[in-house]
Amino acid sequence: MDVFGLHLRELDESGSLFYIGVDAVCKVIDHIGHYKILKAQSGYVVTNIKASYKHHGHFKKLKTCYIIIKLIQRGQVPRSDYLRGSALRISIDDNYLEKIRHKIEKDKKRIRYININKGV
């Protein structure tokens, strides 16, 4: 059993590691610091290896996985709502999580411009 409660197996031909779960097989793409990128059936999964498996996020593109890891490591708050939610799930740093929650609350109070088309 591995950290995520999944069995670990090594393939003979390529030497790649696979995580075998209940309904999916995930190939390990990369390790960056405390984060692991896994290739799932319908995209990619970024997991925090210092925390439980519930600290993970799903992404469609590999480049987005690298971006979210870089933002978390630097302590920068993402602009995208989806990336903010993912950063909240993946990170375990309390100061960083508080920065994200503060930015979300700040954006809720923001006045948005609405263009009213009169006479059209």
Q: What is the pTM of this model?
A: 0.72
Asked whether residue 115 is assigned to any structural domain, the reply reads no
CA angle, 54 then 52 then 5, to 5°: 100
82 has pLDDT over 50: yes
Asked whether residue 12 is assigned to any structural domain, the reply reads yes
Percent with pLDDT over 90 in the chain:
53
Asked whether residue 51 is assigned to any structural domain, the reply reads yes
Domain count, the chain: 1
38 has pLDDT over 50: yes
Asked whether residue 1 is assigned to any structural domain, the reply reads no
Asked whether residue 113 is assigned to any structural domain, the reply reads no
Asked whether residue 116 is assigned to any structural domain, the reply reads no
The boundaries of the domain holding residue 81 are: 7-108
d(CA 56, CA 50): 11
Q: Per-residue confidence at 27, pLDDT binned at 50, 70, 90?
A: confident
Task: Estimate to the nearest angstrom the gap between the alpha carbon of 104 and the chain centroid.
Answer: 17
Q: Is 48 exposed, middle or buried (0-12, 13-18, 19+ CB in 10 A)?
A: buried
Q: Which two tokens stand for residue 97?
A: 């999580």
* The amino acid at 76: Q
Could you give phi then psi for residue 97, rounded to 5 degrees? Answer: -65, -40
Average pLDDT, whole number, for the chain? 82
d(CA 45, CA 71): 16
Q: What is the mean pLDDT of residues 21-34?
A: 74
For the chain, where are the alpha helices, taking DSSP H only? 62-74, 81-90, 94-108
The pLDDT value given to residue 84: 94
